Homo-oligomer: A and B are copies of this chain.
């Protein structure tokens, strides 16, 4: 039985992508070679990389003349230090909205002064701070668009007159925003874009080259831009699967169409969380994430009963992160509406029999 996969990441990808990726592991486009054994300098892979880059720019509506797409390695965790290496001259401003923001802050402090503008740590990150101003005397402003663990999402980004860096790991390609507001967007592939092992970076070339320090080659955006993301061997298969997923997204009608579907899934989920007397939502309503809905049982005694219902229904990965507990429904682009319905039915079943 195919599972209903609510894993927070790595997570569900489109079934068509699994089919195509599986075939390419045996024989890529009838070449007689596996995608796993071709050179990254081969015509076949250079085309895959270019297509993935072009699709990413297209979905983000970013002009190719100004932005470079990189597929790097190391995940958002590597970007915490890499973005600071490239943009931090003396001081940067950070918004602290969760564990990943806090980790980004920790790394940036190795290279300069960090001004934490606001933090929601006081309430275990269940909301997005709003009353703060981005100063003009910092090298950049850093924020996390969606907080996977806590289920919050920035709906309105603050005015900023400095470069903006955003960790968009868990909601890139899920909703329309003005992506040109950002100077550096980074995202681990393993939510809406592909499997673990590739990291997307969209970088506005004009914000680079302004720091004095010597940057190690592998951490230097300019080095990777100069080689069109082929400075060294890229993670071939993760990039290939990302390309397939970005193609699938285009076939679905792009970010606008998928946003409407994501909204439907999130609305249905939150409606049930709010309606069902056995459950309570974790995040503040106005800051709720459309990607990750976090909720708890009011009565922990129902835990094993509820979880048996989930297992019976073939639901995978609904457990919340240990810092929040309870449940987290991660409803990424590829998750079908039926999977949300299955969880809702389990919640209603529990209510009936409680």
| CB <8 Å contact, A195 and B237 | yes
* CB contact list, A5-51 vs B, under 8 A: 5, 7-13, 18-19, 21-23, 25-26, 31-34, 36-40, 42
Q: Given known contacts A13-B37, A40-B196, A197-B198, what 9 new A-B pairs fall within 8 Å (CB)?
A: A10-B236, A22-B23, A32-B314, A36-B194, A73-B235, A106-B217, A107-B216, A197-B238, A235-B238
Taking the full assembly, how many copies of this chain does it contain? 2
Q: State whether B81 touches A218 (Cβ < 8 A).
A: yes
A11 surroundings in chain B (CB, below 8 A): 37, 39
Do residues B216 and A110 form an inter-chain contact, with CB atoms below 8 A? Answer: yes
A168 interface contact, C-beta 8 A: no
Taking a contact as CB atoms under 8 Å apart, the answer to whether B34 and A26 are in contact is: no
Q: Residue A37 contacts which of B12, B80, B216, B217 (CB distance < 8 angstroms)?
A: B12
Q: Are B25 and A10 in contact (CB under 8 A)?
A: no
A25-B25, A217-B107 known; A33 vs B5 contact (CB < 8 Å): yes
Q: List 17 A-B contacts (CB under 8 A).
A: A1-B32, A3-B31, A3-B32, A7-B37, A9-B39, A10-B233, A11-B37, A12-B37, A22-B23, A22-B25, A36-B241, A74-B232, A77-B217, A77-B218, A107-B216, A190-B236, A195-B236
Asked if A75 CB lies within 8 Å of chain B CBs, one says: yes
**Does A188 make an interface contact (CB < 8 A)?**
yes
Digit string of A183-208 for contact with B (CB within 8 Å is 1, else 0)? 00000101000111110000000000
Shortest CB distance A173–B (Å):
17
Residues of chain A at the chain B interface (Cβ within 8 Å)? 1-3, 5, 7-13, 18-19, 21-23, 25-26, 31-34, 36-40, 42, 73-78, 80-81, 103, 106-107, 110, 188, 190, 194-198, 214, 216-219, 231-238, 241, 314, 316-317
Report which of B5, B23, B81, B235 forms a contact with A217, defined as CB distance below 8 A.
Answer: B81
Q: Which residues of B contact A214 (CB under 8 A)?
A: 110
**B74:A74 contact, CB within 8 angstroms:** yes
B77 and A33 contacting across the interface, CB-CB below 8 Å: no
